[in-house]
Structure formats: structure tokens, C-alpha cells
Amino acid sequence: MMFNFAPVLPLLIGAFFAALTRGRVRALLMLATPVVGAVLLYTFTPGTTVPVEWMGLELTPVRVDRLSLLFGYLFHLAAFLGVIYSLHLKDTLQLVASLAYAACAVGAVFAGDLLTLFLYWEALAVTSAALVFARRSERAFAAGLRYLLIQVLSGVLLLAGAIAWAKGGHGLEFGHIGTGSIAGKLIFVAFGIKAGFPLLHNWLTDAYPEATPSGTVFLSAFTTKVAIYSLARGFGGTEMLVYIGAAMACFPIFYAVIANDLRRVLAYSLINQLGFMVVGIGIGTELAINGAVAHAFNDVLFKGLLMMSMGAVLHVTGEMRGSELGGLYKRMPKTAILCMVGAASISAFPLFNGFVSKSMIVTAVLEEGYEWVWLALLFAAAGVFHHAGIKIPFFAFFSHDSKHVKQAHEPPTNMLVAMTIAAALCIGIGCFPGTLYRLLPYPTGYSPYDSSHVLAQMQLLAFSALAFLSLKIYKIYPPELRSVNLDAEWIYRRLVPNAFRHALAAVGRVGNQVRSHSFRLVSSSILALARHHRSEGVLARSWPTGSMVLWVAVLLGTTLLLYYL
Amino acid sequence: MSDKDLKRPKSHLFDNPKNVTRVIRGLLLLCLVLVVLDAVIHRHTAHPWEKVFAFYPMYGFVACVTLVLLAKGLRKLVMRSDDYYGRFEEPPEDGPASRSDDV
């Protein structure tokens, strides 16, 4: 059956028919698509590859192993939740783009060669940008363009790296790459852009808060997780990743504390969670890779849940700035409770899914003796509770009563259902981690629930909460303010455009001077010419006919004289 | 009757300051219990620092206070006005304006 060769097909066909159908038919179709896709994945056997020869290149469009299968299931699950969440929509652009986007993510994780990966990589960029554009505001359009440019740049780097890699005699197969060669470095940066490496991360915090409510739910699930998958496959055990990951886990939480747009807070917190995964990949032991992959799986669920709850608030109130929200638990109690489940999960409370994967990474870090990185991750773990676990629910649903409390109400049922399923999965995996552990790339006997781990985590979290409480009571906690916080994006949103403008102005000034000098030169040459050629000029003077006759006579006389001689 | 109706919206969980106090006391009690457990439960440790009494509670508290104070400092450095990168259409002020979702 052809589906065996193309795990992307169900989602892709679903996207195609979502463009043609409307109403209930489309809703049913879109719900069925991820289910059919997931069932088909179940028939795949790890170790299968589908080689294809195309224009003299040996490609592997589909390669199935435990790592790609896990991500395959994850993406189908995410697509299913996202589809339920967006069932109330009538916007064909969004619906088609979201299924196509999910299809590309599935294609990318099953790609067995770098060229196929590149194709899906760029398709991910285009389909996901559509979810930003679908907000249909001027602001979203600008953010979407910036997003698309950076994503395409990542693809171009990947292609350049892939070509250099193949030229180096490695072929196009996508296996372990490493940063030893120029090709490896190019591919590393390409993956790094999508994974949100420090200084390359701003596309995420720029575009995600500008997308539509359901668009952001899809966005938070796929692009970055494809990058994590790719890093795990190509750069597992690259020590540099340990430090890059630690930086990613720590620096965004400062921004998350002061950011006003709550979906931007979540975007920063997404980078923070990616940091944990990147550290795990960098360590590269079986436990660490398992932890990274499991955390990616859990992150899709709890970050999806948080994004869904904020999307619900945005959908109902039209507002996402923390400074303008508050008190919504009175009108949206279900959403508030579901949001808090997501908050507890991302904060890695025991019995919630964040705990069972984050503790794997932290244990692996300690086992390998990276004690400073361990301290950084502990700091990040306390910080994530602070900004995502407390700040998000507190400023949206509690804090002071905002003007939106009067009109707010629970979101449409489909949104609540999607959130409830995600919340149930967060708690389910948290309580029965074995279900997730069985899917991991390496067999594991790891058990997160021993008294030391649980106590340590509870202490860390309870005292983080105490810190928040004390700072709030003593009014030290920074209030939510309408503002923009400068980040690395300032370089390409301000510095470079301004430098370009100044450079243009400078070139203009030089151009003006050159032009005025040239004008002066031309007019002085005209004057000089005129001096000799104008009517009274020496060269333009008219000569009397008499003198002509005289000179002819002289000439003839001279000729005569010479003749006689 | 109409008076009661007006008051009804105010009868939510945290409108009663007693409930806020209860939450705060609950948290304090939890913290206390967790520190006591630190002395009671024998924890197996992988790092010498973990052996320090109440290492995790202290680290959690200090980390968060440091985080917030540094973030406040960061605000002085990086905070700019809402329209720093240019002004777009007015942000939604009254009720649900960004309903592109329903298109």
C-alpha cells in the first residue's frame, strides 16, 4: 500500500480535502486524518527504509526507526488536539495550512536523507508562516515576513551544508553529522535557528504571539520539535550543545518575567524548555537522549495546553497583554483550571508529565559531572515555575479584576475538549510514565518517583512559590507594563535597518556632491568653449573675402616663382 | 433583590480575603513541612551540595528572588515604549477585536 511509503500522505490528503470541503464534512475529515495517520504509523516496523533513486541521487524519503516513530506519533497527536481546538473555525487558509504544516513535520522526521529533509524543512517554513499571516493584521503580516525570512535562511544553510556534506564523500544519508567539518557546522546552525539557539531565537518570540489563537497551538508543537529531533539524530553527544542548552534554559526566563504579552511569555518559556532538551542531546548518553526526547513529547502536551488556554483567553477577550487581563477565573473557571494543569506540568510537579522527563535530563547531567550546568538547570527549573507556572495563570485569571471580566465567558466547547484531553494526557503520563518510556529510543529502567527526587523537586517549587509570594507582598515584583523589551531581534529590526538608512543617506550626500561638482565642471567647460566659439570668439570670427583673395594671390605668386626657379 | 444581584458577582472565591489568607497559610505550612521532611527523610545524593541541609529550598528561594531582581534590572536596560518598532493598527481596546479566528 502506498501509505507504507509515505507517512505524510494521510495528513497531506487531509489538507487537500480540507481546502475543498466545508462544514461538518470538513470537520469530520480533519478529525479522521490524524487518527488514520497514527493507525498507519502503527503498522510500520522500525528498521524499514524506502530507497529511491532520483536524478542519479540515492534518496531515502522514508526511514522508520524508534526515534522517528516516536516523533511521528507525537505529531499526529498534536495535530489531532490542534484540529479539535480549531473545529469552530471557518477560515480555510488556517485549517489547510495547519494540516499541511503537520504533514511536513511528519515528513521531516521520517526523512532518511538530507535533501528530503531540506524539502520538508522549507515546506514547514511556508506552511507555518501561513498561520501567522492568517491573523490578518498589519502587525502579524510584518512578523510573518520576518519569520519566513529567517526560516528560509535556515533552509538555505541546511541545503548548503547538505551539498558540502555530500561533496565530502559522506553521501546524503541523514545520520550522525557532528560539527567537525564546515558542512557539519552549516547544518548545525541551520538546526540551531529552528531550535531557537541564543541570538538565533527571536523569530519565535516575534512571530508566535502574533499568530492566530489556534495557529500558535500548532506552531508551538512542530517546528522546534523537528529541530530537536534533527539535533538528536545529527549531533547527539556534541558537548557544545550542553552549554548552548544551559544558556537557552536560563536567559529567556528573565525576559519571560518582564514580557507583557502572555503568549510571548510562553514563547520565551518554550525556548527555556528547548534548552533542557538541547542539554540532554549534548550529553548524549542513553538516559540523556531518552530524557530529551521524552521532554519534547511532554512539552508538546503541556506547552500546547498552555497555548490553548491563552488562545482561549485571546479568543474570548481579544486581549493578551498581562497588564490588561486579570480576574478571569470568575467567568472562565474551567479554562483557568486547565491552564493550571498545564502550569503544573511545565513546572514539573510530581504526578505531572514535565516531572518524569525533566528529572531524566537533570539526573543525566549530574551523572556526567556537569555541576555548573546542573545548577543552571535547577535555576531554570525554579524560574520556569515562576514565570510559566505562576505568572501565566496569575495575571490572566487572578491578580486584579480587569475590564474583561464583565463580558468574558468560557470558550467554545471544542476548545475546552482539546484542553481537557491535553490535560488528561499531562496527568496520565505524569502518573504512569512507563507508557511514555516504552516508546523511547533506548530501553530504560529509569524511575522518577523515588523519595529523594520528589522531595527535592517539591522543595524547589514550594520555595519558588514562596519567593513569588514574598516579592508580591512586599511589592518588589515587577508590575505588568505595556512595553517592548529589546532582544537580539533589535539587531535586524533596528540596528541594521537604521545602519542601512544612514548608509543610504551618506551615499546620497556623496552622490549630491559628485553631481554638483559634475554640473560645475560641465558649465565651466561650456563657458571655456563659448569663450572661443561664441560670436565674438577668436575661432568664430568671420574673415573678409579680400584677405582670402590676397592669400590666394600670394600662394599663386609663390608657386609661379618656384616654377621658374 | 436587585441589591443581591449586584453583589452576586463579588461572591467569587478570592473576593473573600480570608480565602487568600488561607492559600498563603497553606503555602507556608507546605514549605515548613517540606523543610522538616528534609531532616527526616534520608535522601540519596549524587552531589555533595545536595547534602547541605535545606539545599533545595534555599536554592529555589534565592534563585527566584535573584531572577526577579535581575529581571527588574534588565527592564531598565531593555524596556522601550509599546510602539518602539513602529506603530501598527491600534491594539484592541474594547472587547474582542482580533476575531480573525472566526473568519
SS3 of A245-285? HHHHHHHHHHHHHHCCEHHHHHHHHHHHHHHHHHHHHHHCC
Please check whether residue A443 is in contact with residue A285, taking contact to mean a CB–CB distance below 8 angstroms. no
Q: What is the pLDDT of residues A65-105, one digit of tens each?
A: 999 999 999 999 999 999 999 999 999 999 999 999 999 99
What's the N-to-C CA distance of chain A in angstroms? 118
Mean pLDDT for the stretch of residues A487-499: 91
Preferred mutation among A360, A463, A468 to probe B, highest tally of B CBs within 10 A: A463
Q: What is the pLDDT of residue B9?
A: 52
Please check whether residue A275 is in contact with residue A315, taking contact to mean a CB–CB distance below 8 angstroms. no
Q: What is the pLDDT of residue A386?
A: 86
Q: What is the pLDDT of residue B98?
A: 44
State the cell numbers at A394. 496569575
Q: Do B12 and A134 touch (CB under 8 A)?
A: no
Interface of A with B in 501-530 (CB under 8 A): none
Residue B76 distance to chain A (closest CA, Å): 10
Q: Do A459 and B54 touch (CB under 8 A)?
A: yes
Residue A271, class by beta-carbon neighbours within 10 Å (0-12 exposed, 13-18 middle, 19+ buried)?
buried
- Evaluate if residue A138 carries a pLDDT over 60: yes
Query: Nearest to residue A464, comparing CAs of A550, A521, A390?
Result: A390
- Band (pLDDT 50/70/90 cuts) for residue B96 is very low
Q: Which residue has the cell 480555510?
A: A92
Q: Do B92 and A456 touch (CB under 8 A)?
A: no
- Band (pLDDT 50/70/90 cuts) for residue B8 is low
Shortest CB distance from B56 goes to which of A386, A456, A483?
A: A456
Q: Which range, A1-10, A388-397, A417-426, has the best average confidence (pLDDT)?
A: A417-426
- Evaluate if residue A180 carries a pLDDT over 80: yes
- Evaluate if residue A367 carries a pLDDT over 50: yes
- Evaluate if residue B6 carries a pLDDT over 50: no
What's the N-to-C CA distance of chain B in angstroms? 42
**Cα A160 to Cα A185, A227, A244, A550, A564, distances in angstroms:** 11, 17, 23, 85, 92
Helix (H, G, I), strand (E, B) or coil at A54: strand
Q: Do B88 and A139 touch (CB under 8 A)?
A: yes
Number of Cβ pairs closer than 8 Å across A and B?
A: 190
Strand partners, A49: A63
Q: What is the pLDDT of residue A465?
A: 93
Cα–Cα dist A179/A184, whole Å: 5
Q: How many CB atoms lie within 10 A of CB A142?
A: 18
Lowest mean pLDDT among A14-18, A50-54, A213-217, A339-343: A50-54
Mean pLDDT for the stretch of residues A188-205: 96
Q: What is the DSSP string of B33-63?
A: HHHHHHHHSPPP-SSGGGGSTTHHHHHHHHH
Shortest CB distance from A212 goes to which of B34, B75, B100?
A: B100
Pairing of strands A57-63, A49-54: antiparallel
- Evaluate if residue A157 carries a pLDDT over 90: yes
Element (H, E) at A163: helix A138-165
Mean pLDDT for the stretch of residues A522-526: 93
- Evaluate if residue A261 carries a pLDDT over 50: yes
Q: What is the pLDDT of residue B97?
A: 40
Preferred mutation among B11, B14, B98, B102 to probe A, highest tally of A CBs within 10 A: B98
Strand partners, A484: B80
Interface of A with B in 59-88 (CB under 8 A): 88
Q: Do A460 and B88 touch (CB under 8 A)?
A: no
What are the residue ranges spanned by the domains of chain A?
A: 236-507
Please check whether residue A326 is in contact with residue B14, taking contact to mean a CB–CB distance below 8 angstroms. no
The mean pLDDT value of chain A amounts to 93
Rg, chain A, Cα only? 33
Interface of A with B in 302-331 (CB under 8 A): 314-319, 321, 329-330
Q: pLDDT: is B98 or A240 the higher one? A: A240
Mean pLDDT for the stretch of residues B56-64: 94
Q: What is the pLDDT of residue B89?
A: 60
Mean pLDDT for the stretch of residues A344-354: 95
Interface of A with B in 372-391 (CB under 8 A): 374, 378-379, 382-383, 386
Mean pLDDT for the stretch of residues A362-390: 93
**Percent of chain A clearing pLDDT 70 (strictly above):** 99
Mean pLDDT for the stretch of residues B57-78: 93
- Band (pLDDT 50/70/90 cuts) for residue B81 is confident
Q: What is the pLDDT of residue B10?
A: 57
Q: What is the pLDDT of residue A4?
A: 55
Shortest CB distance from A485 goes to which of B38, B54, B79?
A: B79
What are the residue ranges spanned by the domains of chain B?
A: 1-41, 46-79
Strand partners, B80: A484
Q: What are the φ and ψ backbone dihedral angles of A59, each rounded to 5 degrees?
A: -110, 160
Shortest CB distance from A486 goes to which of B38, B41, B80?
A: B80
Preferred mutation among B22, B36, B53, B68 to probe A, highest tally of A CBs within 10 A: B68
Residue A297, class by beta-carbon neighbours within 10 Å (0-12 exposed, 13-18 middle, 19+ buried)?
buried
Helix (H, G, I), strand (E, B) or coil at B80: strand
Residue A461 distance to chain B (closest CA, Å): 7
Q: What is the pLDDT of residue B42?
A: 78
Mean pLDDT for the stretch of residues A404-418: 94
